[in-house]
Amino acid sequence: MKVDLRKIYRFEPIPSQPDGSLPKGGDVYYECGGCKEVVSSVSHIKVSCSCGNLVGGGGTVEIKSPDQVTPLRGKLK
């Protein structure tokens, strides 16, 4: 069963790193531009968004199209 993180967190977009890579951290999440689902940037459980652009697990996320991803900072509501 999928957890809707938007019910738990309030998300704000954050800028990419100066070198163009995506930020990463315990409070950083990625929004998929394709399906609009949100995935933790350091997910330890296996997750993937509906369209398969973001596939996470083991503390990292594999991104097929980084230009389709918006980094977000999540704060508990």
Q: Which residues contact Zn ion (rule: CB under 5 A)?
A: 32, 34-35, 49, 51, 53
Q: Least CB distance from residue 49 to Zn ion, whole Å?
A: 3
CB 66 within 8 A of CB 7: no
d(CA 24, CA 21): 9
Q: Least CB distance from residue 33 to Zn ion, whole Å?
A: 8
Nearer CB in complex with Zn ion: 40/53: 53
d(CA 22, CA 77): 24
Nearer CB in complex with Zn ion: 28/35: 35
Q: Least CB distance from residue 68 to Zn ion, whole Å?
A: 8
Containing 71, the helix (H) or strand (E) segment is strand 69-76
